[in-house]
């Protein structure tokens, strides 16, 4: 396993919050990939989606992922990043990939009022279908899978415990 961590999971599972806590615990840098894209492109993620569509955003996401692959630290990935084989290849080569496994109801409560492009104007049933379609992909690409329904501190404890077991 690598000393770089990439956190994957559905929107609202806690990737950014847990990522910050994990980086603090490991005393290493933390990057939120969506925030890095927005900062680098000088536009919000919804603006990028509106101007370039999802395909344009996914191209940017892949480019920024490759940049992050050369750095030591903890990376919070966007919810859709792991859907694409070329991104999964970068994850498997350069990161210990951690799936933050969180139930749909918890994720939905956290994201339903958000401005996330992929949930705006979608019913709960549509968001659930998206969740269910992505779940097996997250499972298949991860090195570690942790229950993310607990406090960020407890989730980080579990990541580190599983990491020690797999060394």
Contact 98, 6 (CB under 8 A): yes
Question: Would you call 97 exposed, middle or buried from its count of C-beta atoms within 10 A (0-12, 13-18, 19+)?
Answer: buried
| 16 marked ligand binding residue | yes
| 32 marked ligand binding residue | no
**Sign of CA pseudo-dihedral 68, 44, 61, 83:** positive
| 72 marked ligand binding residue | no
Q: Which residues contact 33 (CB under 8 A, 6 or more apart)?
A: 61, 64, 65, 68, 75, 76, 77, 78, 81
| 66 marked ligand binding residue | no
| 13 marked ligand binding residue | yes
| 17 marked ligand binding residue | yes
| 34 marked ligand binding residue | yes
| 71 marked ligand binding residue | no
| 44 marked ligand binding residue | no
| 15 marked ligand binding residue | yes
Q: Which residues make up each annotated binding site for ATP?
A: 12-17, 116
Q: Which residues make up each annotated binding site for substrate?
A: 34, 58, 79, 134
Q: Which residues make up each annotated binding site?
A: 12-17, 34, 58, 79, 116, 134
Q: Which residues make up each annotated binding site for Mg(2+)?
A: 16
């Amino acid at each position: 396993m690598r000393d770089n961590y990439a956190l994957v999971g559905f929107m609202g599972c806690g990737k950014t919050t847990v990522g910050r806590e994990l980086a603090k615990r490991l005393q290493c840098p933390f990057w939120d990939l969506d925030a890095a894209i927005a900062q680098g492109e000088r536009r919000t993620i919804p603006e990028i989606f509106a101007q370039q569509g999802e395909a344009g955003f996914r191209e940017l996401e892949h480019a920024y992922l490759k940049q992050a692959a050369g750095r030591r630290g903890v990376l919070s990935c966007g919810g859709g990043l792991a859907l694409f084989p070329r991104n999964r290849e970068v994850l498997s080569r350069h990161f210990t990939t951690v799936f933050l496994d969180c139930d749909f109801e918890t994720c939905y409560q956290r994201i339903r009022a958000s401005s996330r492009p992929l949930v705006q104007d979608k019913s709960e049933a549509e968001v659930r279908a998206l969740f269910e379609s992505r779940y097996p992909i997250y499972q298949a690409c991860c090195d570690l899978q942790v229950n993310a329904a607990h406090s960020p501190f407890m989730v980080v404890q579990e990541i580190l415990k599983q990491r020690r077991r797999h060394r």
